[in-house]
Amino acid sequence: MRKIIIYIPVLLILFSACQEKIDLELNEDYQRLVVEGSVTNFDTTQTIKLSKTSSYFTDKQTPRVTGAKVTVTDGQNMFPFIEDSAGIYTSEYPFAGENGKTYRLNIELDTPINNERYYSASEKMPVTLTLDSITAEALQNPPPQVTEDIQIKGWGQEPASPNNYYIWDLYVNGEHYTDTLDERSFTDDELVNGNYIPGLPIFFYDGDDLDTIEVYTQSITGEYYAFLLAFIQEASFGGGNFSGPPANIEGNISNDALGYFCVKAVSKNKTIYMKQ
Amino acid sequence: MTFIFCISLFSPQVSIAENENNKEILRYTISGHIRDAANGEELLGATIYIEELKQGTVTNNYGFYSLSLEPGEYTLVYSYVGYKKQSYTIDLKKDIKKNIELQPSSQELNTVTVSGEKEDKNVSSTQMSTVKMKSKTISRIPALMGEIDVLKTIQLLPGVQSVGEGSTGFSVRGGSRDQNLVLLDEATVFNASHLMGFFSVFNNDAIKELELYKGDIPARYGGRLSSLVDIRQKDGNMKKLQVDGGVGTISSRLTIQGPIQKDKTSFLMAGRRSYADIFLPLAANENLHNNTLYFYDLNFKLNHILNENNRFFVSQYYGRDVIKVSGLNDAPFSMSWGNITTTFRWNHLFSDKLFSNFSIVRSGYDYKLGIEEAEDNITSFVWRSDLKDNTLKADFGYYINPDNTLRFGASASYKHFEPGKVKGLDDESIFGEIDVPASNALSYSVYASNEQNIGDNITLKYGLRYTLFQNIGKATVYNYDKNYNTIDSTVYGKNEIYNSSNGFSPRLSFKYQLNKKSSIKASYSHTLQFLHLASNATVGTPLDIWLPSSPNIEPQSADQGAIGYFRNFLGNAIEASVEVYYKKMHNQIDFKDHAQIFLNPELEGEMRFGEAEAYGAEFLIRKVKGKFTGWVGYTLAHAERTFDDINNGEPYLSPFNRRHDISIVLNYDLNKRFSFGLNWVYATGQPVTFPTGRWEYGNLVAPVYSDRNTYKLPDYHRMDVSVTYNSKNKDKEEKRFYSSWNLSVYNVYDRHNAFSISFEEVNGSQYEREAIKTYLFGIIPSITYNFHFK
């Protein structure tokens, strides 16, 4: 709904301003650790990625942080992580997170960043939303400019507890269709709390007959939901006098690190798209 | 406290003096109106000077004056800059009514009167931090696209900052955009801009004059913290029919005014419409060809003098912007917004000493946008927002004696807010219905102030205003915890008063006349503001959301102190002043990071509250007489904010902070045919937040930002020039028809001033970015033809 705000820039274009490149000197001394990782309820190896900030005008990916000691505890057990490839740490053994349990991530860096060697974050696993089924159907009369004309819908009982937040992730024929964050679907349960979800449109995609469609329903915390929305907004930031000042996004990692350690409850549904 | 102290100090003196004098000394009153002999317009702030007493007074906002003197023979001199002086000798033995019509002096017509006042008003008036401008002055300053604009003209004065290139939005002494009260014939204008702020809603042809108060706001006005812009429409020519018009680059204007009954009743009607949309088919971008884009203004005024003691005015303003662009599926996206104001006023003289004015004022602002005619019905929607204000006012001026002028009055108003309502226009609409709850408020104010001369050199002005502001149902109020999370909401029934806030606003100012040419002035004022604009953007958009103070929003308040030295040179031809001010503002509003402002029923939960501080020094030198006129202003200023929840509680620069600000405005009359104008402005760049690095998450690249507002845009500077050619009639006022051509060039050396700087992907790769400067205007020439006949 709030997407109608997108019309406002249309108006601004009318006063088609001129643009030109400008050289800026930015003060880039301050480096920070970036954490991207999760623990899910799937019995699998869990992954934590460590990187750090880089100069704004570089044309490369940001550098990975190697040689760190990474562990996750649930209060009783400790799960050690080992560095799989540069900056990618996976749990030594597969383990599954449990609903309602709090997980804590501890990081000890080999070389301190910004004089900090130790970082931590913790989060509690929310309740799971399990969809009964998903369907994939072609739109009846798609507008001509729409190419993503296959609609995926979900059915299922939404948990009774209020304040649940969901992200949906889509795989088509084993390939990650929504591999960047802004392609995924997000919603909260404000309008459906505790009700049966009657065919909620989750994705539109452009596909072929007999595609195997896998949808991961991820139940996340409200904090992570807010973080993601703000992150997507900042990542697509255009700047300007008509919006508020930009600002850094608060994650849940200690010592001023960026990023988020999220604990999420995931369920999976599968269907095959049949062209009729 | 200061105020109460002053009252007790001075009022006993007044009353003792009167008690002693009552038996022995009689006073008679001479009173009346001062008008322009050519068109019957009231002259506001004209001077009446009593030679024998070396004392005088000035006319009020309705051209009325009153002097109570002991019996005797007096010579009264009536004067107003740009008019011939008139002397009048009276033998005061009884109360006298004396209306004076001053003849415009053709010789002085060609001089720009920046301040159409008593010649030494700069020095002799108690009022500080104030500038008055007549529409004639404003019309001679080079303007963007030749569109003469009162609100852009005041931005050329020290202490007043533009919020963005070409914008009519302004900030006064570090205050926010919403802290300026803009009045048109006493009605609040909530959004004074057309076309995203490039032009103001005021048609200069319909305007008589403007007065800007940057501080020391008189007690009879209240409701905003930082400034008052008091704009008055012309009353309408009482003598003969007059037509003024102009054809400009982006709009045309026509004003008709004249008597319905000579010297009794007159009217004024003015209209203006832009036609930028006519040129859209020429645009390079084909998508623009079928778009609509225009604004118009209508001004209307009627005034009637019933008799010496009663006069009526009705004034109205109606203006609107309309935009229509072809959007998705060829369904036109449309948007329109505008203000409506209506003022009814009754001037009544209870006696020669007691002037009164009663007003009924209604003003409103609304906007509407949406896709209303979509073929694909599920995408059609409409979004509306509306604000209304109805006010009743009574203002009194009691001219006790030449040493004391007492003003008092009261007002009551009812305000209705509809912040936003959206609904899809089809059953299967993809848009759900969003209704940000409406609310209502009542506010009551009373005030009293006195201007008092003490001896020959000291003048004091002191006043107090009290306001009670109440929220009334029907309303839904959300309740928040200390972390601004919504707990629940409370629904209040119709007419139920569910929240009250109130406060006193004392004002005090002081003038010490050092000698005929120089004076020192000081002022203190405490101001309160109960209406707040929800905006985290520095530049305004039409989508303003005004909110009343409420259980979640405390009223804003400010304490401002200023001290200044004023001096005139060369027989009042040059006026100079230096003012230093300090302003502390409380309960200021800013928004949390990534706030959701639009269509958010829980908007109050996005607000954060803190303190702001602004201080600075303003230097102004004006030449007001001769062929060569104009001014040079310089401001050295600092404005910052401190919010617990923003920028980790550290102070940050206000977006309106400009360390240095210079404006030069020059006008040269070569002869009766040609005149030239030039202005140059310079301001330190606007504080902004830039990235200091980047990070990656979920395969997206995002910036890491500096602390808030630690960078600044490149410094702003620009020069505009204009030349005006007048048709050959020598003595303009006496000829039936005359015309002029004005050629203006905005941004004559084509500086690309940064409006904003953004960071954009290069070659479609999110890993490659560059900084892009957006600028709005290069060099812009324009030509305007103006005509006048009567």
Per residue in A112-170, pLDDT tens?
998 999 999 999 999 998 889 998 888 777 666 667 788 898 888 888 888 889 999 99
Burial of B623 (0-12, 13-18, 19+ CB in 10 A): buried
For residues B468, B472, B478, B481, the Cα torsion angle rounded to the nearest 10 degrees is 30
Residues in B closer than 8 angstroms to A60, CB to CB, are: 767
Q: Which residues of A, range 101-130, sit inside 8 Å of B by Cβ?
A: none
Residues in A closer than 8 angstroms to B376, CB to CB, are: 143
The angle subtended at Cα A264 by Cα A258 and Cα A268, nearest 5°, is 130
In a domain, A145, yes or no: yes
pLDDT confidence band for B188 (50 / 70 / 90): very high
Per residue in B404-459, pLDDT tens?
889 999 999 999 999 888 877 766 555 667 788 889 999 999 999 999 988 888 99
Cα separations (Å) of B70 from A209, B77, B97?
105, 18, 16
Among candidates A10, A19, A235 on the partner chain, residue whose Cβ is nearest the Cβ of B700: A235
Instruction: Compute the mean pLDDT over every residue in chain A, rounded to the nearest whole number.
Output: 85
Binary contact (A51, B195; C-beta < 8 A): no
B279 touches chain A (CB under 8 A): no
Alpha-carbon gap, residue B511 to B211, rounded angstroms: 20
Nearest CA in chain A to B591: A244
Which of B280, B433, B694 to probe the A interface (max A CBs under 10 A)? B694
Q: Does residue B618 have a pLDDT over 50?
A: yes
Nearest CA in chain A to B686: A241
Q: What is the pLDDT of residue B1?
A: 37
In a domain, A150, yes or no: yes
In a domain, A10, yes or no: no
In a domain, A255, yes or no: no
Q: What is the pLDDT of residue B106?
A: 57
Alpha-carbon gap, residue B449 to B462, rounded angstroms: 5
The reply to whether A119 and A150 lie within a common domain is no
**If we measure between CA atoms, which residue out of B610, B756, B607, B782 comes closest to residue B690?**
B756
The reply to whether A138 and A55 lie within a common domain is no
* Least confidently predicted of A195-204, B121-130, B140-149, B580-589: B121-130
* Over residues B541-550, mean pLDDT: 87
* Over residues B87-96, mean pLDDT: 88
A241 touches chain B (CB under 8 A): yes
Residues in B closer than 8 angstroms to A140, CB to CB, are: none
B699 touches chain A (CB under 8 A): yes
Nearest CA in chain B to A23: B771
pLDDT confidence band for B672 (50 / 70 / 90): confident
The reply to whether A116 and A135 lie within a common domain is no
The reply to whether A193 and A168 lie within a common domain is yes
pLDDT confidence band for B757 (50 / 70 / 90): confident
Instruction: Compute the mean pLDDT over every residue in chain B, rounded to the nearest whole number.
Output: 85
Whether residue B728 is preceded by a cis peptide bond, meaning omega within 30 degrees of 0, is no
The domain boundary, picked from A55, A90, A125, lies at: A125
| 3-class secondary-structure state, position B4 | helix
Among candidates A2, A30, A182 on the partner chain, residue whose Cβ is nearest the Cβ of B692: A30
Does the pTM exceed 0.95?
no
Binary contact (A181, B697; C-beta < 8 A): yes
In a domain, A259, yes or no: no
Cα separations (Å) of B484 from A190, A247, B245, B297, B498?
18, 18, 54, 42, 20
pLDDT confidence band for A179 (50 / 70 / 90): confident
The reply to whether A79 and A145 lie within a common domain is no
A48 touches chain B (CB under 8 A): no
Q: Does residue A236 have a pLDDT over 60?
A: yes
CATH annotation of B130-789: 2.40.170.20
A6 touches chain B (CB under 8 A): no
* Over residues B63-84, mean pLDDT: 87
B773 touches chain A (CB under 8 A): yes
Q: Which residues of A, range 190-209, sit inside 8 Å of B by Cβ?
A: 191
Under 8 Å between Cβ of B313 and B236 = no
Binary contact (B323, A14; C-beta < 8 A): yes
Alpha-carbon gap, residue B597 to B536, rounded angstroms: 8
CATH superfamily of B2-108: Carboxypeptidase-like, regulatory domain (2.60.40.1120)
Q: Does residue B24 have a pLDDT over 70?
A: no
Which of A10, A11, A23, A191 to probe the B interface (max B CBs under 10 A)? A11
Q: What is the pLDDT of residue A224?
A: 93
Cα separations (Å) of B66 from A149, B343, B353?
80, 25, 6
Nearest CA in chain A to B766: A59
User: What proportion of chain B, given as a percentage, has pLDDT over 70?
Assistant: 89
Instruction: Map out the domains of chain B as residue ranges.
Output: 2-108, 130-789
Nearest CA in chain B to A239: B758
Residues in A closer than 8 angstroms to B198, CB to CB, are: 15
Residues in B closer than 8 angstroms to A22, CB to CB, are: 714, 754, 757, 771-773
Q: Does residue B629 have a pLDDT over 80?
A: yes
Strand B55-58: give its sheet, edge to edge.
B55-58, B47-50, B72-79, B86-92
Cα-flanking dihedrals φ and ψ of residue A228, to 5°? -65, -45
Q: Which residues of B, range 151-190, sit inside 8 Å of A by Cβ?
A: 163-164
The tally of domains found in chain A comes to: 2
A258 touches chain B (CB under 8 A): yes
Q: Token pair of B487, please?
A: 């707990």
The reply to whether A180 and A105 lie within a common domain is no
Q: What is the CATH number of the domain that holds A188?
A: 2.60.40
| 3-class secondary-structure state, position A139 | coil
The reply to whether A110 and A154 lie within a common domain is no
Under 8 Å between Cβ of B417 and B441 = yes
Q: What is the pLDDT of residue B118?
A: 52
CA B35 to chain centre: 25
Q: Report the sign of the C-alpha dihedral through residues B173, B175, B177, B179, in that order.
A: negative
**If we measure between CA atoms, which residue out of B432, B443, B627 comes closest to residue B528?**
B443
Residue A46 is part of which domain span? Answer: 31-125
Alpha-carbon gap, residue B542 to B334, rounded angstroms: 13
In a domain, A17, yes or no: no
Strands A102-113 and A88-91: unpaired
The reply to whether A148 and A210 lie within a common domain is yes
Under 8 Å between Cβ of B468 and B135 = no
The domain boundary, picked from A125, A154, A183, lies at: A125
Binary contact (A238, B700; C-beta < 8 A): no
* Least confidently predicted of A216-220, B338-342, B730-734: B730-734
Among candidates B288, B381, B705 on the partner chain, residue whose Cβ is nearest the Cβ of A247: B705
Nearest CA in chain B to A21: B772
Helix (H), strand (E) at residue B138: helix B135-138
The reply to whether A141 and A119 lie within a common domain is no
Q: Quickly tell me which residue has 């971008």 as its tokens.
A: B285
The reply to whether A145 and A106 lie within a common domain is no
* Over residues B259-268, mean pLDDT: 92
Q: Token pair of B230, please?
A: 């008091």
Binary contact (B702, A231; C-beta < 8 A): yes
Q: Token pair of B441, please?
A: 């408020």
